[in-house]
A and B are shown apart, each in its own frame.
Chain A
Amino acid sequence: MTDSPLNDEKSFSLTKKLPTGEQKPRVPDNTSLSWQEQAYDRLKVLYEVSKLLSTFENVEKTFPKILDLCSTSFPFRTAVLIEKRGKSVMAAMWNAESVTAAQITLATTSSKESFIYLTGASKLESATLRSSEISSRTLAHVQTRTKSENKDNESYIVLPLYVDQLPAFGVLQLGGAPPLCEKDVEFVDALSNLVAIAIDRYYRVQYERELKDEEALESSHKLSRSEASVTDLETERELRENFVSLLSHDLRTPLSAARISAQLIQREANITEPIRSLASRIVSNMNRVDQMISDLLDANRIRSGEKLPLNIEPFDLVALVRRTLEELSTIHGERFVLKVPEILDGYWDKSSIRRIIENLCNNAVKYGSPDAPIILSLSQTNDQMTDQVTIEVQNTGDLISPEDQKTLFQQFRRSQKAQGSGKKGWGIGLTLVRGVAEAHGGTVKVASDAQRGTVFTVTLPIDSRPFISKEGT
């Protein structure tokens, strides 16, 4: 079997002759058989051929054996198999010693086109049939006609190899065959069909295998790409976190300078009251900006899975709540109703707990019904041998849908209602509440129903000291 470029048919040559079948073809011994016996003999041959071809091996390997088998039932002297594969042509020969260059040239030429060639060797006169004209009868007719014109008594049967429809991808050329009778045509036709199907299947299997390999390669590329994108995401996250932290740092420096300057003005002895008041305004506004930066930084920490740094100290929660609500009442009016015990001592971070109360109460004012009271209750509970404190903030008004309740504590998440309310919010308040609660070893949950309205419940251990990671303190 040889690969040979076929740019010019005259230059076509075989560099290697393939192992072939028997060098001297057997003379078919079925000449004396009755047509029934001959038909059965050929059926057996085709059966054996089909068995050989069903091995899924390359046809090139089984080619000599197939022709050995066929030659026992149908007389021919030589055989050439031409297969076109892309731009190259493969040729296999049977009884190669007797194959002439002209024969190969003929076989190759005929394989180039979608025609059947039936021709004599000495005179390259060919009868061509278009694929639509192929039938055993016309084939026999042409064969007979060509045969009669063939002087050296050498004729070829050129069988196109194709499946489904032409064009053919190759030819099987049998040399020195006798004139074909109708039954012969059926036999060689069946033979060429079997060979064609086997070759076609072989390449399909090869092609599918290559395709699978390519897919495997592609998917491994994809995998590495997706791994890369995971890394990209992590990098992006890192960059964003660094950016936020840098931004806060760089914002804080001038902010602190402005506030300290304003504080220094406040402390000046020789200033008038309006100036002192203006300075105080600067300070309080700067404090608000500073608080926003702190919130943003902390929300960013929570997002990246860090615990918030807490400064745990003992204090009375009731006193803190009273103080905080007094301040909130100066902004929002007397909206708050307190249900608290006389005293509730514990260990927490004072400024963080203040943030919880401020956030929940501000939200209640913002999203609750404008006139109804907001109820803040504190109670001490005991869960699984742990002393706990529960902070509840309850308001009436629009309820929070179950869908929104699920995502409410995520950063930058605001409920559909909140977004549609026209009220401004960063969507980090509840993230902070959750972060602060969790940093204390506590939890936060929300319930919203027609009976009680919306209730945010923060549960904290009475003593949060064991829950503080050393890193965070």
Chain B
Amino acid sequence: MKKTILAIDDNRETLFLEGIVLTQAGYQVHTALGGEAALKMINELKEIDLILLDYEMEGMNGPEFLAAFEKQYPLLFKQTPVIYATAHERPPPKLSKSWIPKLRDIDKFIKDIEKFITP
């Protein structure tokens, strides 16, 4: 059974490519354009092995999404691992979650994801 990743990003292009790259790498991928869309999707999907969350999003940003996620689905929140994807080379300060750099190179990105789950 393929591992499921929910990728959340406010950039359509990034999201599209993350979908292709992760799918080619063997994952089951769902993509959500922004935090609100992701919250709806979580309710439908139920089983998610990893959430890849853009840290800086317009509207609901990464931490805000996590707060809403925890509030709406406390049980799922506890069960689902979340990692941030950030365009910055350094982790945002006071970041409690794990993070990986955003998709800039396919091999590097897959290697980073595999630190958390393998297909």
Contacts and interface: CB of A to CB of B under 8 A. Distances in A.
A256 B103 contact: yes
A260 B17 contact: yes
A7 interface: no
Interface stretch (B31-39, B70-78, B85-93): B85-93
Contact of A253 (B11, B20, B106): B11
Given A264-B20, A264-B21, A267-B24, A256 B104 contact: yes
Contact of A256 (B14, B24, B88): B14
Nearest to A294: B89
**Interface of chain A, helix or strand or loop or mixed?**
helix
Contacts of A472: 90
A309 B90 contact: yes
A309 B91 CA distance: 10
Chain B CB count within 10 A is highest, among A253, A264, A309, for A253
B105 A259 contact: yes
A46 to B, nearest CB: 83
B89 A253 contact: no
Contact of B87 (A253, A263, A264): A253
Interface residues of B, number: 17
A463 to B, nearest CB: 23
Contact of B105 (A245, A254, A263, A294): A263
Interface in A228-255: 245, 249, 252-254
Contacts of A297: 89
A347 to B, nearest CB: 20
B11 A261 contact: no
A316 B13 CA distance: 39
A290 interface: yes
A257 interface: yes
A309 B89 contact: yes
Contact of A264 (B14, B90, B104, B106): B106
Contact of B13 (A254, A263, A294, A309): A254
A432 to B, nearest CB: 14
B30 interface: no
A252 B104 contact: yes
B103 A249 contact: no
B34 to A, nearest CB: 15
Chain B CB count within 10 A is highest, among A260, A263, A264, A309, for A260
Interface in B18-56: 20-21, 24, 56
A245 B88 CA distance: 9
Contacts of B24: 264, 267
Interface string B94-119: 00000000111110000000000000
B105 A253 contact: no
Contacts of B88: 245, 249
Nearest to B9: A253
A253 B90 contact: no
Contact of B17 (A261, A267, A294): A261
Contacts of B56: 249
Given A260-B106, A267-B24, A294-B89, A253 B14 contact: yes
A295 B49 CA distance: 36
Given A261-B17, A267-B24, A252 B87 contact: yes
Interface string A121-151: 0000000000000000000000000000000
Contacts of B13: 253-254, 257
Contacts of A257: 13-14, 17
B106 A249 contact: no
Contacts of A253: 11, 13-14, 87, 102
B1 to A, nearest CB: 25
Interface string A402-435: 0000000000000000000000000000000000
A259 B90 contact: no
Chain B CB count within 10 A is highest, among A245, A249, A256, for A256
A260 B22 CA distance: 12
A252 B104 CA distance: 8
Report the 8 A-B pairs with minimum CB-CB distance, sorted nearest first.
A257-B13, A256-B104, A260-B17, A263-B106, A249-B87, A309-B90, A252-B87, A309-B89
Interface of B: 11, 13-14, 17, 20-21, 24, 56, 87-90, 102-106
Interface of A: 245, 249, 252-254, 256-257, 259-261, 263-264, 267, 290, 294, 297, 309, 472
28 contacts: A245-B88, A249-B56, A249-B87, A252-B102, A252-B104, A253-B11, A253-B13, A256-B17, A256-B102, A256-B103, A257-B14, A257-B17, A259-B104, A259-B105, A260-B21, A260-B104, A260-B105, A260-B106, A263-B105, A263-B106, A264-B17, A264-B21, A267-B24, A267-B106, A290-B104, A309-B89, A309-B90, A472-B90
